[in-house]
Structure formats: structure tokens, C-alpha cells
Structure 1
Amino acid sequence: MPLPTVDQEWPPPAIRPEMRLYNQWGAWYSGSPDRLAEVYGAGVSPGIGLDLKGWDRPMRGGGVMGRVARWFWGSPTPAGQSRSTKLHVPIAGDIAATSADLLFSEPPTLKVPGKKGQARLDKIMHEAGIYGGLLEAAELGSAYGGVYLRIGWDTGVDHPVFDALPADAGVPEFSSGRLSAVTFWRVVRDEDRQVWRHLERHEKGRVYHGLYMGDEDHLGQQVPLEDHPATAHFAPQVDAEGGFDSGYERGLLVHYVPNMRPHRLLRGTSLGRSDYSGVEPLMDALDETWTSWMRDLRLAKARIVVPEVYLQNTGRGRGSMWDPDREIYSGLGMLPPPGGGSNMITMSQFAIRVQEHGDTAKTLIAQILRGSGYSVQSFGEGGDGQAQTATEIHMQRHRSYSTRGRKVGYWTPALAWLSEVLLSVDHHIYGTKVSAEKATVSWPDGVMPDPESLGRTLDMLVRAQSASLDTRIRMLHPDWDADQVKAEKEMLRDELGLNVPDPAELSEMFIPSASGDDD
């Protein structure tokens, strides 16, 4: 089905629940106090960005303030206060970055049949910067609940290109849980109450491009691609239907990778849920705790209260001032303070509740990370500062690695698809003589083994004569292929003088000859 030909609401009303969640999760991910205040309703119209758990249901007698006041970021700046004193702890960004690091800080290995295909795939992966793009994609998926992997080409380079788009950039269509079509859009012009949108639709074997001129809420009428510089270069490529062949006949040039399923707020959907889902109130409470802590610091500044007669008049209409560095004052005719004494200056300095705020913040952080599926040790917290083995690290971060294992299950078919599409587009567009194949994906353990512990294990295996040289090499280098292992064995035999006979020679030594001689 090609692009829309009639005016309609955009984004489509059918995806409003998803877009409201994306707005909310995107605000936390951005780390912007202004976006958080906007999404949760501080000073904006009611109902924008509020989540689906009843926050936008009318409250009796509460009005707009009754709804938004449940959130710290929903309360407006008090009257008479020159600026907002709210502070934000960017823990949402830390969660997304840590999730990406757990998956792709050590990139997985993609293996396809044939040396030519493998060499070409490795070249594309490195020259196109795909390993870095996967880190970006995993971070976006953690924040928005899913990410789109998109393959394209640029005639200015000699390889396919790869990019990652957040879940709020497209209108997906699923069939049996798989992405069957998707329409991406972006605003290329927004001025004079006119909004120009570029729509890019992906279907099996086809890609469509369209340019629309409408308003903030409606797509408007379709106009020629040449009318805007951002889409003019697509005009020579599209046919009468507004599209062209993708070069990959088996499916789309786009793959949707869910962050985690099932979706707890939108039952029955094929979309994934964000790592922030369910912990937004805790992140809101953490910001309130941090703001309260900083408020204690402001209020605890030493201040003095002096009688009005201590102030120096600066002239009519210009008020009075107090000079704290003045040393000599003339005598003042006034009554002494109650209880005697002559000191009329009052010192004021409040206590800072460091311990209470610190304990509250630490508890909230632990609950946020636990609700997101991670261990506090993955964020540099909770350690005792002593050197630890790989096994100890893995046990402490067990929850994080369990979450990583679940995400690996979604990313493995996506990476297999990635290799096939890259080689297919490479053959179709650039004319390379390689066949498109799905890769076998091998993931690293995620934690580097302790060299001392691994060395002791290998030494015990040698003394017990319970593991071959081949097995020991593979234990030390689990990412090596058969050729690398074979080369290492030959080097070790040459260096150590291990003239081990060939297995065929050993069999001849122990098999009796045909003559029946026993010597």
C-alpha cells in the first residue's frame, strides 16, 4: 500500500497511546528539566504526556492542578519565585547507556559462509561504523522500548549505510508479531503555521517517499518531492507510484528490535517496553529528594537579622542597606532586647540533613535500578573497593546479566537479518559478487575472565591430563575460529618442541599388520 493520498490526522490517532508514552520516556531520557515540566503539565494545557495509569482522568474538584500535582515535575513554579529551583538527576540516561554497554561494549561476532562474503561483511561493518551504530541503537531501544534498524545506500560511498531510529519516529504495522511495514516521518519545515513532512514508507521489496504540506495536526496535501531541498534528491529515483525497489526481496530494509516484552501498559501489542516503564514515579521522587537536599544547602547559608535602625538610608525611594564590613557605629537610642544584653544582631543558620537525604536518594536509586532490571554494581555502586574475580563480579551483577540475556534473545535474529540485508543491498546497488547470507551470531560473556583464575584452571587441566591442547586454547580464546586455533597449536608445538605424531600415524602403530606379526 503506497503513501497516503488524502489529508488525515498525523500522527494517526491509532498510535496516540504509544506516542504519549514515547513523550514521557523521551523526556526522562533527554535529561531536560524543561521537557519534564512540559510533559507532566507544569504550566501547559491538561492531559499532555500524562501516562495511562489514571493520571489524566478528571479528579472531583481538582481541575488541572489536581492531576499534575501528583508529580513533582507537574507542580508549577511558586508565585513570586524568579526561577525554578527543581533539579534533575539524569539516572534515566545512565540506565540507557549502561544497557547499551552491557550488550555491545564487546561487539558480537557475525560469521557467514564463504571467505569472500565474510571479508566483505567485515569491511562493511567497520567502514560503515555499524558497531558504533549498534551501541546507539541499544541505548535508544532501552529508553523508548524499541528501535528501528534501517539499511540504505549513498552513492558517495562504496558500501551500504546503517542508522538507528527511535520507536517514536515511525508508524509500524505488524503481522504475526513481525514488522510487515513501517512509515517514518520527519518535519522538514515548520513556519507560518505550515508544517512540511517527509514520509518514508517501507514495504516488502519497496521503499516509498512523499512530501506533504499541512499543519501541526494534519498531514495536508501531497506536493512534489522537488519542492523541498531535503527530499529533492529522491525525485529522480521514484517511479509513478512514488517508490523504488529496495534490492531486498525477502522483506524490509527495516527491522524492529523490541527492548523487552511483554508491554505492561499496552496489552497485546508487538511493541516493546522501556526500561523506565513503572519506575517513572520513583525517578520523580528522586528528583524531589535531590531538590530538597539542595534547598537545605540554600537555606543553611549563614544569615543575620538586624534592627531597622541598623540599616543605612540610601536616599528617598532607594531603600536602605546593611554593610556587614562596617566596624564602628554611633550610639543608637533604643531599648535593649528582652532578657538583657546589648547585642541586637541575630544569627540564623539551619542544619543540613545530609544523612537523611543521602539515605533516601540511595534507596530510591536502588529501587529504580531494580525495577529497570539492573544491579547497582553495574553502575559503580555497592562495591567494597577490593579486587574481585570474574565469578564474583558476575554473581554481584547477576540481575544485570539476566536482563542482558533476555535482550540478547531479541538482538540475535536482528543481527542475523542485518548481515543478510547488508550483503543483499551491497550486491544489488554496488554489484559485488557475494551472496546474501544470514550470519551466525556469537556473543561474548559480557565480563572479562580473571587471568589469574583462568591460568590456575588451565594448569590444573594440564596436570590432570583431562583436556587436550585444542580445548585449552579454545578456553583461553573463546572468540577464535578453527584456523586461528590450528595456527596457535602449531606455534606452541614448535616453541615447546612437542613433536606429537599425527593421529593417523598413532593408529598405524597400534593396529596389527596383515601378516599377523606381533613385533
Structure 2
Amino acid sequence: MPLPENGSAWPPPQWAPYYAEMRVDDAWYSGDRRRLAHIHGEHEVAPTRRGPWNRRRAEPARLRHRLHVPLASDIAAVSAHLLFSDMPSLHVEDKATQARLETLVDEGQIQQALHAGAEQGAALSGVYLRATWDRDLIDRSILSVVQPDNVSPEFRWGMLRAATLWRDLSGSTQSTVFRHVERHEPGRILHGLYEGTPDNLGRAVPLSEHPETADLAGSLGEDGVTVETGITDLTIVYVPNIGPNRLHRSSPIGRSDFQGIRDVFNAFDDVWTSWMRDIRLARARLIVPDGYLRDYGPGNGASFDDDREVWHSLKMPPNEGGAITLSQFEIRVEEHQRSTEALTRQAAQSAGYSAQSFGLDANGAPITATEVDSRDALSMVTRKKKTGYWRQPLAQILHVLLQLDAVHFGQRIKPERPRVEFGDGVAESEQSTATTLDLLNRAGAVSTATKIKILHPEWDDTAVKAEVSAILAETGAAAPDPVATFPLIER
């Protein structure tokens, strides 16, 4: 298919319901008070539910004391930590290809991109990974993350077959918007520059007319819009956060971790705002008689100096109650704390995580990996589900990166689809690992090579063999048994 036609409604109206959901989730993810107030002014999901962010325009003063706790962004961050705190293992059969893949991972900041993509995808229901290249920038293929609210995808049988991306460019105003549109199809990428309005794509103009797209003009084919990738695979993949999408059951689009729990976020901010209001109202206040005030003259008011140490007596009868009165309200700490913890547990559970992942139920004492698994069971189940959604698209886009490396940068490799293996997600302490190895060794149930692999799972077979040889040489275990070399004496 070609690029979008002039005058097309934009963003694409068929995806409007998804973009609307993403805008709300993005406001919660951002944690910005103004964006929260704005989005809930536009999209009041439950008019009878008056949370801290859907106050009427007639009550702007009340928003000054509204506070926000970034529980939503914490949930998205936990999701990313569980998935990509460690880079998954990547394996191909060809040694040269394996070496090149490791170079791409080390130099291309792929783990950072995946971690950022996983966090944003948890908030916005999914994320896109794009493979591209830029000879003027670096001599290797590039992996980048594309936000789902700037993509119009095309699926067939639940699989992505093409995608149209866009971004607003500098120089845009409230009435005129410049958009760079980038369409990915198998074997090619199409580029277009459009001048339109906020809700209409407008007309196509040459790429050279905007500084942010001018450098693309020289790489286009004879039609002025197409870049041939030199491979047959699509150069973009979609990674759904998790499924199914409960609002769009038949859609291949994933669901946000926030789906169904925005009211909990609202309630949490209600409680936190109430707690801070208690603290604000509980500040000690002094009620003093007029005679204690220092008069600054007509029209200039009066004040009370609460730091003054010496006061002269006042000429007033002793029965007029001219004493200083202290006013201080109680702070309901325990009630508010229990409420915030309960809301955190509910939000975490509804999003698919254990309370332990958010610092609850931890007494500060060191615990073993087994105990972590037990307390964090729900988080581990969710992590396992999400790795299933990430494994295939990640392997596919890494295969595309290798192919682009071979085609455009002359790498002498045999591009293969790598095998992606996620770890168990629990980092066992060195003390716990040493105890496990000691018990296995005493039972005679483990070889030296296996012990090395348990201690250093990232090592390859060559490194393991070298370490085994060094250990056997140092301990003398590699020496032949002298008893077995004695000659047999016949009697």
C-alpha cells in the first residue's frame, strides 16, 4: 500500500478508541498533575466518582492542595525490572554470527532500549521495536523503541504485516502541523512529509522542505518515497504487554497494567491528599488576645511575634481570659497508612504483582531465593507470561538487525534467528549459592564442570573447561591415582 492519501483524517480514526485509552494511561504514567487534571477534565470515566483529578473547572483552587503518588509509574517500572534487569541469553549456531550479535548487544545499548520499552509498554498496552540504519551516524544497524500511540498497525490473523508511524515535527503550531510519516512493509520503508492540521493529515510536500526530513531525500528510490531494505522481513515488530485486552477482546493489541485500576490510583491520591491535609491542618497555631499584637499603625495591620521571650504585663482584668491558647489537631497516621498499604496491595494484585515487589511484607532481614519465590509468586507468574509475549518479537527483530548488518555494512555472517532465553528472574545471593554447591559436593551429586556452570551461568564451554582444568590442577585432583598404577603381584 502507498502512503496515506492527502486530506486523511489523522490520527487514523479506526484506532481512536485505543489512542484515547493510551492518553489516559499516559497521564497516569507521567505523574504530571496538570496532565492528570486535563485528561480527567476531558474524559471523566465515572461522573459520580469525584477523585482528586476530576474536579470541576469552578474549583481550580482546590487542586493546589491535591497531591499525587506515582503508583502507576511504579507498577510499570516493576514490570520492566522483572523482565530486563538482566539481559536475556541470546544464542545462534554460527560462531561469527554469535560474536556479531554480542557486539550489537554490547555497543548498541539494546538492554537499555528493551528496559525502557518494557516500562512504557506496561503503561501503554504494548510497544513497537524498529530496526533501521544510519550510515552517517554509526556503522551498524540500530534498534529503537516506537510508542504505540504514534503507530497505525495492520494485522492479519493476529500478526503484524505492516505499520505506519508518524511524528510531529518542529515548527508545528496549533493550526498547522508538520508530520513525518514512515510506513514499514516487507522489504521496504516509505517516507512522506505532510503539512496539515491537528485532526487532518493535509497535503504531501517534498521531504527537503523540512530540516528534520531533508537528509532522507538522498536515500530514496526513483519514486521519491521508498527505501529498499534489502531483506524480505518486516523491519518493525509489535510486543503486546500482556493479553487479552479486556476492553477490546478480539484485538491483537495488548492491555495496559493500569487497565481496570485507575479508580484505585484515584483513591490512593485521595488518601494521600487527606493525609497531607491532616499534617497541614495540624500545625500548631496560637490564639492570642488583641493586646498581644504589635500595632503597626492605621492601615498597616498588626502581628504577633512568637519568638519574643519577654513580655510586659497587660492592663486587663484577670478574669477576661487574656491567655495564649494553643490549637493543634490530631494527625491520623495509622488510619492513612493502613489505607495506602491496602490500596497498594489491591493495585499490585490487580496488575498481576505481589505486594513484596513494592516493598510490602518485607522485614528487612536477608531471605533466600526460595523465600523470594514464595513471597513473590504472583509477580513471577506475571513475569513468565510477559516473557512469552516478548520472546518471539525480540528474536525476530534481532534477526532483522543481523540481516541489515550483513546487507548494508558488509558483515560476513550468516544471519540466524537467535534463541532467546530469559533467566528465572531471581538473583540468588553468593552465600546461598555457595551453600547449595557445598551440599551438592558433599553428596557427590555434582561434577566440577556443573559447579562452575552454576556459579557462572554466563560463561561458555571454553571458559568452563579452562576453569575446571585450573581447579583440578590446583587441588591435585587431576593427578593419576597412584594406587591404580601399582603392578599386580601374582601368588
TM-score (norm 1): 0.86
Aligned length: 477
Rounded to whole Å, the distance in 1 between the matches of 2:392 and 2:131 is: 16
CA distances 1:128-170 after superposition (whole Å, capped 9, x unpaired) = 1111111111111111110111111111211111111221121
The counterpart of 1:92, out of the listed 62, 65, 72, is: 72
Q: Which has the higher contact order (CA 8 A, sep 6+)?
A: 2
Partner of 2:489: none
Secondary structure (helix, strand or coil) at the match of 1:3 reads coil
* Residues 83 and 367 of structure 1, relative CA distance in 2, 3 Å threshold: closer
Q: State yes or no: 1:419 paired with 2:398.
A: yes
* Residues 134 and 79 of structure 1, relative CA distance in 2, 3 Å threshold: closer
- Identity percentage over the alignment? 41
TM-score (norm 2): 0.91
Partner of 2:116: 136
The answer as to whether partners of 1:259 and 1:273 remain within 8 angstroms in 2 is: yes
Partner of 1:124: 104
Rounded to whole Å, the distance in 1 between the matches of 2:328 and 2:174 is: 54
Q: State yes or no: 1:23 paired with 2:23.
A: yes
The counterpart of 2:226, out of the listed 239, 243, 262, is: 243
The counterpart of 1:446, out of the listed 403, 417, 425, is: 425
The answer as to whether partners of 1:420 and 1:436 remain within 8 angstroms in 2 is: yes
* Residues 310 and 485 of structure 1, relative CA distance in 2, 3 Å threshold: closer
Rounded to whole Å, the distance in 2 between the matches of 1:404 and 1:148 is: 19
AA aligned to 1:9 is: A
Rounded to whole Å, the distance in 2 between the matches of 1:244 and 1:307 is: 83
Q: CA deviation at 1:241?
A: 5.5
Partner of 1:107: 87
Partner of 1:331: 315
Q: CA deviation at 1:80?
A: 8.5
1:80-479 paired onto structure 2 within 5 Å: 81=61, 84-155=64-135, 156-188=137-169, 189-191=171-173, 193-239=175-221, 240=223, 242-249=225-232, 251-306=233-288, 314-324=296-306, 325=308, 327-328=311-312, 330-331=314-315, 340-343=319-322, 345-479=324-458
AA aligned to 1:29 is: Y
Rounded to whole Å, the distance in 2 between the matches of 1:192 and 1:36 is: 21
* Residues 499 and 345 of structure 1, relative CA distance in 2, 3 Å threshold: closer
AA aligned to 2:149 is: D
* Residues 311 and 68 of structure 1, relative CA distance in 2, 3 Å threshold: farther
Partner of 1:492: 471
AA aligned to 2:227 is: F
* Residues 488 and 311 of structure 1, relative CA distance in 2, 3 Å threshold: closer
* Residues 192 and 418 of structure 1, relative CA distance in 2, 3 Å threshold: closer
CA distances 1:350-383 after superposition (whole Å, capped 9, x unpaired) = 1111111111111111111111111122222211
Partner of 1:62: none
Partner of 1:60: none
CA distances 1:13-39 after superposition (whole Å, capped 9, x unpaired) = 111110111011101110111110011
The answer as to whether partners of 1:77 and 1:83 remain within 8 angstroms in 2 is: no
Q: CA deviation at 1:437?
A: 0.6
AA aligned to 1:178 is: M
* Residues 459 and 69 of structure 1, relative CA distance in 2, 3 Å threshold: closer
Q: CA deviation at 1:455?
A: 3.1
Secondary structure (helix, strand or coil) at the match of 2:219 reads coil
AA aligned to 1:327 is: W
Rounded to whole Å, the distance in 2 between the matches of 1:418 and 1:377 is: 33
CA distances 1:271-323 after superposition (whole Å, capped 9, x unpaired) = 11111111111111111111111111111112233456765554555445445
Rounded to whole Å, the distance in 2 between the matches of 1:83 and 1:26 is: 20
* Residues 312 and 499 of structure 1, relative CA distance in 2, 3 Å threshold: closer
The answer as to whether partners of 2:177 and 2:198 remain within 8 angstroms in 1 is: yes
Q: CA deviation at 1:464?
A: 3.3
Partner of 1:59: none
Q: CA deviation at 1:89?
A: 0.4
* Residues 173 and 80 of structure 1, relative CA distance in 2, 3 Å threshold: closer
Secondary structure (helix, strand or coil) at the match of 1:421 reads helix
Rounded to whole Å, the distance in 2 between the matches of 1:139 and 1:192 is: 30
CA distances 1:395-448 after superposition (whole Å, capped 9, x unpaired) = 111111111111110111122112211111111111211121100112222112
The answer as to whether partners of 2:285 and 2:327 remain within 8 angstroms in 1 is: yes
* Residues 329 and 265 of structure 1, relative CA distance in 2, 3 Å threshold: farther
* Residues 227 and 327 of structure 1, relative CA distance in 2, 3 Å threshold: same
Rounded to whole Å, the distance in 1 between the matches of 2:372 and 2:473 is: 37
AA aligned to 1:144 is: L
Secondary structure (helix, strand or coil) at the match of 2:93 reads coil
Q: CA deviation at 1:214?
A: 1.0
The answer as to whether partners of 2:282 and 2:329 remain within 8 angstroms in 1 is: yes
CA distances 1:39-88 after superposition (whole Å, capped 9, x unpaired) = 101xxxxxx3445xxx4xxxxxxxxxxx2753321014775848611111
AA aligned to 2:249 is: R
AA aligned to 1:12 is: P
The answer as to whether partners of 1:2 and 1:241 remain within 8 angstroms in 2 is: no
Secondary structure (helix, strand or coil) at the match of 2:64 reads coil
Partner of 1:5: 5
Unmatched segments (≥5 aa) in structure 1: 42-47, 56-66, 507-519
CA distances 1:447-505 after superposition (whole Å, capped 9, x unpaired) = 1224344334333433433333333333333333333332233223322233478xxxx
Rounded to whole Å, the distance in 2 between the matches of 1:482 and 1:467 is: 17
Rounded to whole Å, the distance in 2 between the matches of 1:452 and 1:283 is: 39
Which moves more between the two structures, 132-141 or 370-379?
370-379
